[in-house]
A and B are shown apart, each in its own frame.
Chain A
């Protein structure tokens, strides 16, 4: 049994920032990650990080844009805190060593992004996530905490009504370990792999969110799933919103710049839910292109010129050339929306506290909520750092006054027994088969446009998959780097989260932000200005609702 004051699960930006805060508080910190921290999906974020740091911009403008972008489901007190912390956070990351793109006068360059009234997105070419991840990792250093590299989260341990650490699988040895802690921080990122067509890495399986849910934490607003407007047609690889920020335009098969019909004022720089729906509408009404990988529209950069494209969008150039066989300097990019981000997650307050004492969450795994029903591009990188820090500070403070964890090595046994059953089974299905069917189900039934019939059918299918999962089988007998076992663990997490997403979506009979019900196309503030909370019960997720935090901004109709 390993023991620490604080254990952080996940070592992307949110996890590392939480760990840094706890280390700086002088505590003994353990960090568990199923990837080397530098391979975390934070590093795949491209476009930038929002902070109102220009003299012409204002924190209030950033708050307003975020509130409006959230379709008034974001908690305004949390958003105010977030936007105020954004400026100092960018400065801190610059001091940590992050290499940002600069303006000619030596200040931080900022580019326009969707749903923002001002060019407020600080960036490092089109690899901002990588630049931040390197800067933070190099600052954090490897010496001041214990890293459990390539350990897979299996369970959050609770006893005496509080979280007391985790059980995790060391992929290298196949051993299960208990890691006892006074405070546990979940920072495992999103669960994009619930879907087949997603910009997310294969590792984004929502492990921490599912484990927190099983440990009694409320999941908040899980039905709000962001589809990024521009994912490469084949495979769904992300093409940054920065491409439109730099002046990229969208065209349908007739060569029409169709965004003028959906967002006449800001066109391609409307918020993501609006642009993604516009693209899907074009496609559904027959104005898209048809190709072997499905229907699509064009993202054009050609008019920006080679120099700008190759300097500001260097990674995009490489991605298009390697993965789509096209050169964005001379050719349009075939794109269609793809799952990108979970606005929902483990419900927390500004300090990252969940309803389970001793359990904290931050980053995409958490839902504070600042994104509400739709996240603005550039706000998630900032969220990882602002709330990673606040969760780390709060977890450290909690650990400093908490009694030692009372869990023991015996608490690992039930997990070990359930995994042994997967190995011992003589027949049963491979987890990857179930995962593939789950992903097809979500792609088909819980996408950008939703209806009650479709969602109900999707829920039925997911529950059927859950029943089959009860007999999942691991055929690889090896203990060393057994990905078959990892698949089985992760598929279980994905099934739980898919169910919560659908149950929340089915109940919410309105359209708000990224949740669009064609059978209820209007936002319904009277009935639905509230957060969905899902709690795990033996018969599935039980829903309840919580009010939205308001300060200064009255809900209005959202027009771009």
Chain B
């Protein structure tokens, strides 16, 4: 065995609701070589120091999705996080349960809400009975069609994205990055007949609650890039149905609004998003802003070189059309 070990201190969240008055952090120190995964450290704690530590784990090779937890505040898989890098970056290793899910014990969280969101997007092929699957043969699917899934089939449902997502924390109506990436996987599936229905439904069922912060993409251990697929879903939803929701109207309004003058007309954007009547409830808020920043009410002067902007829009539109 290699002798290049260093003392590694783990500060581990310990809490059992109903038994413990409050969570506490327990320190365990082990000699480990720097490339040792955090999970290996935690399992050694269980085997050698404290068998009462609660956590989920199974494959230890980043494919079962069991051991997602927060390590120095980042949601990630413990099995593929080396202790050395954490020590270098943070000087210590704080291990906590995932966020946005109630704690069951120590590092174990109740994933029922997460699984419920996954189930909620109807994650199964919906087939049109008028177009049955080929009898006794696989559906043809070209490599290009397979590429359209991007990396969504790599999702291991670890929920690191769900834990990292501020929109999940903020609004229970948001299905979360994993469920939406999963939805994308079914929307682009050439075997699925419910594409239109799925896109129309998700417009009102949380799609536009995404804050576009990309923390899910940063957290994902399998490079599924949920935020990019959510962006794709938004574009596809608008293309399928038009902008029907505040979120999609805001996006479309932003685009046309900016095109007109090269600079945002914020009053107009509010109208584009909410409609004239819908602006009424926004009035007190608008007045408050107007008092501090009266220029918001003025119609902005078009910027110079708008022809160039037109060119950019044309290029983008033709890109979309591809």
Contacts and interface: CB of A to CB of B under 8 A. Distances in A.
A175 to B, nearest CB: 14
Contacts, number: 153
A480 interface: yes
A104 B136 contact: no
User: Across chains A and B, which 8 residue pairs bring their CB atoms closest together, nearest first?
Assistant: A106-B140, A476-B52, A94-B138, A484-B51, A292-B2, A201-B59, A432-B47, A201-B58
Interface of B: 1-2, 16, 18-19, 35, 37, 40, 43, 46-47, 51-55, 57-66, 80, 104-106, 108, 111, 115, 119, 123-125, 133, 136-143, 145-146, 149, 153-154, 156-157, 189, 191
Given A94-B139, A127-B63, A172 B125 contact: no
Contacts of A482: 52, 54
7 contacts: A38-B65, A99-B153, A102-B141, A102-B145, A293-B2, A483-B53, A483-B54
A433 B51 CA distance: 11
Contacts of A39: 58-59, 64-66, 157
A100 interface: yes
B61 A142 contact: no
Given A107-B140, A315-B154, A476-B51, 10 more contacts: A41-B59, A91-B138, A94-B138, A97-B189, A107-B138, A130-B156, A141-B124, A323-B37, A480-B16, A483-B51
Interface in A462-501: 474-476, 478, 480-484, 487
A361 B107 CA distance: 34
Contacts of A475: 51-52
A235 interface: yes
Nearest to B57: A202
Interface string A82-104: 00000010110011110111111
B59 to A, nearest CB: 4
Given A202-B57, A475-B51, A35 B66 contact: yes
A126 B140 CA distance: 20
A102 B104 contact: no
A104 B54 contact: no
A139 interface: yes
A203 interface: yes
B157 A323 contact: no
A541 interface: no
A59 interface: no
Interface in A87-136: 88, 90-91, 94-97, 99-108, 124, 127, 130-131, 134
B54 to A, nearest CB: 4
Nearest to B39: A202
B104 A237 contact: no
A235 B18 CA distance: 37
Contacts of A345: none
Nearest to B115: A36
Given A96-B125, A478-B52, A44 B64 contact: yes
Contacts of A2: none
Contacts of A6: none
Given A95-B133, A124-B153, A475-B51, A202 B58 contact: yes
A142 B54 contact: no
A47 to B, nearest CB: 13
